[in-house]
Amino acid sequence: MNLSKSEEQLMNYLWKLKKAFMKDLLTEFPAPKPATTTVATLLKRMKDKGFVDYKLFGNSREYYPLVRKSEYFSQHLKGFIKDFFNDSSTQFASFFTNETDLTTEELEDLKKVIDEQIKKKQ
Protein backbone atom coordinates (compact mmCIF):
# COMPACT_ATOMS: atom_id res chain seq x y z
CA MET A 1 0.00 0.00 0.00
CA ASN A 2 2.42 2.66 -1.22
CA LEU A 3 1.88 5.99 -2.91
CA SER A 4 4.49 8.10 -4.65
CA LYS A 5 5.18 11.56 -3.19
CA SER A 6 2.99 13.16 -5.88
CA GLU A 7 0.18 10.68 -5.28
CA GLU A 8 0.46 11.22 -1.52
CA GLN A 9 0.18 15.00 -1.98
CA LEU A 10 -2.93 14.55 -4.12
CA MET A 11 -4.37 12.03 -1.67
CA ASN A 12 -3.92 14.54 1.16
CA TYR A 13 -6.01 17.03 -0.81
CA LEU A 14 -8.69 14.40 -1.38
CA TRP A 15 -8.72 13.42 2.31
CA LYS A 16 -9.13 17.11 3.17
CA LEU A 17 -11.97 17.66 0.68
CA LYS A 18 -13.57 14.20 1.24
CA LYS A 19 -14.83 14.22 -2.37
CA ALA A 20 -13.81 16.41 -5.26
CA PHE A 21 -13.99 17.04 -8.96
CA MET A 22 -10.80 17.64 -10.94
CA LYS A 23 -11.22 21.44 -10.74
CA ASP A 24 -11.49 21.23 -6.94
CA LEU A 25 -8.28 19.24 -6.70
CA LEU A 26 -6.43 21.60 -9.03
CA THR A 27 -7.33 24.59 -6.87
CA GLU A 28 -5.63 22.90 -3.89
CA PHE A 29 -2.22 22.81 -5.58
CA PRO A 30 0.13 25.74 -5.03
CA ALA A 31 1.43 27.64 -8.07
CA PRO A 32 2.66 26.56 -10.49
CA LYS A 33 -0.28 24.20 -10.80
CA PRO A 34 0.23 20.83 -12.48
CA ALA A 35 -1.39 20.10 -15.81
CA THR A 36 -4.85 18.56 -15.72
CA THR A 37 -3.46 15.54 -17.59
CA THR A 38 -0.82 15.03 -14.88
CA VAL A 39 -3.45 15.01 -12.12
CA ALA A 40 -5.67 12.71 -14.21
CA THR A 41 -2.75 10.27 -14.60
CA LEU A 42 -2.10 10.33 -10.84
CA LEU A 43 -5.78 9.71 -10.12
CA LYS A 44 -5.86 6.77 -12.55
CA ARG A 45 -2.81 5.21 -10.87
CA MET A 46 -4.34 5.79 -7.44
CA LYS A 47 -7.60 4.18 -8.60
CA ASP A 48 -5.66 1.19 -9.96
CA LYS A 49 -3.93 0.87 -6.58
CA GLY A 50 -7.31 0.91 -4.80
CA PHE A 51 -6.93 4.27 -3.05
CA VAL A 52 -9.64 6.25 -4.83
CA ASP A 53 -12.78 5.74 -6.86
CA TYR A 54 -15.22 8.09 -8.54
CA LYS A 55 -18.85 8.66 -9.43
CA LEU A 56 -19.76 9.86 -12.89
CA PHE A 57 -21.88 12.98 -13.29
CA GLY A 58 -22.27 13.34 -17.04
CA ASN A 59 -18.69 13.67 -18.29
CA SER A 60 -17.33 14.74 -14.90
CA ARG A 61 -15.89 12.47 -12.26
CA GLU A 62 -16.26 13.12 -8.56
CA TYR A 63 -13.37 11.40 -6.80
CA TYR A 64 -13.43 10.12 -3.23
CA PRO A 65 -10.94 8.20 -1.07
CA LEU A 66 -11.36 4.48 -0.46
CA VAL A 67 -8.62 4.40 2.18
CA ARG A 68 -8.81 6.44 5.38
CA LYS A 69 -5.88 8.72 6.15
CA SER A 70 -5.33 7.08 9.55
CA GLU A 71 -5.28 3.62 7.93
CA TYR A 72 -2.72 4.70 5.33
CA PHE A 73 -0.38 6.37 7.79
CA SER A 74 -0.69 3.52 10.27
CA GLN A 75 0.49 1.07 7.58
CA HIS A 76 3.19 3.52 6.50
CA LEU A 77 4.46 3.88 10.07
CA LYS A 78 4.43 0.11 10.63
CA GLY A 79 6.57 -0.34 7.51
CA PHE A 80 8.91 2.43 8.65
CA ILE A 81 9.36 0.79 12.07
CA LYS A 82 9.92 -2.60 10.43
CA ASP A 83 12.47 -1.28 7.92
CA PHE A 84 14.42 1.13 10.12
CA PHE A 85 13.99 -0.17 13.68
CA ASN A 86 14.11 -3.97 13.28
CA ASP A 87 10.32 -4.15 13.74
CA SER A 88 10.77 -2.82 17.30
CA SER A 89 8.38 -0.15 18.52
CA THR A 90 10.59 0.26 21.58
CA GLN A 91 13.63 1.13 19.42
CA PHE A 92 11.47 3.58 17.48
CA ALA A 93 10.13 5.21 20.67
CA SER A 94 13.65 5.48 22.08
CA PHE A 95 14.93 7.10 18.90
CA PHE A 96 11.91 9.41 18.69
CA THR A 97 12.17 10.63 22.28
CA ASN A 98 15.97 11.03 22.17
CA GLU A 99 16.37 12.64 18.74
CA THR A 100 13.43 15.03 18.39
CA ASP A 101 14.21 17.59 21.13
CA LEU A 102 10.86 17.14 22.86
CA THR A 103 10.19 19.48 25.76
CA THR A 104 9.47 18.14 29.24
CA GLU A 105 5.83 19.10 28.71
CA GLU A 106 5.65 17.20 25.41
CA LEU A 107 7.24 14.14 27.05
CA GLU A 108 4.68 14.35 29.89
CA ASP A 109 1.86 14.55 27.34
CA LEU A 110 3.30 11.53 25.51
CA LYS A 111 3.53 9.64 28.80
CA LYS A 112 -0.16 10.39 29.47
CA VAL A 113 -1.12 9.02 26.05
CA ILE A 114 0.89 5.84 26.71
CA ASP A 115 -0.59 5.45 30.22
CA GLU A 116 -4.12 5.79 28.77
CA GLN A 117 -3.39 3.08 26.18
CA ILE A 118 -2.03 0.78 28.90
CA LYS A 119 -5.24 1.25 30.92
CA LYS A 120 -7.38 0.45 27.85
CA LYS A 121 -5.50 -2.78 27.23
CA GLN A 122 -5.70 -4.09 30.81
CATH code: domain of residue 34: 1.10.10.10
Neighbours of 39 (CB within 10 A): 20
Contact (Cβ atoms closer than 8 angstroms) between residue 69 and residue 77: no
Domain range for 106: 86-122
Number of domains in the chain: 2
The tens digit of pLDDT for each residue in 48-104 reads 999 999 999 999 999 999 999 999 999 888 888 999 999 898 888 888 888 888 899
The answer to whether residues 90 and 49 belong to one domain is: no
Q: Give CA–CA dist 67/79, Å, rounded.
A: 17
The pLDDT value recorded for residue 1 is: 65
The pLDDT value recorded for residue 23 is: 95
Is 28 within the bounds of a domain?
yes
Is 16 within the bounds of a domain?
yes
Contact (Cβ atoms closer than 8 angstroms) between residue 81 and residue 75: no
The pLDDT value recorded for residue 43 is: 97
The tens digit of pLDDT for each residue in 2-40 reads 899 999 999 999 999 999 999 999 999 999 999 999 999
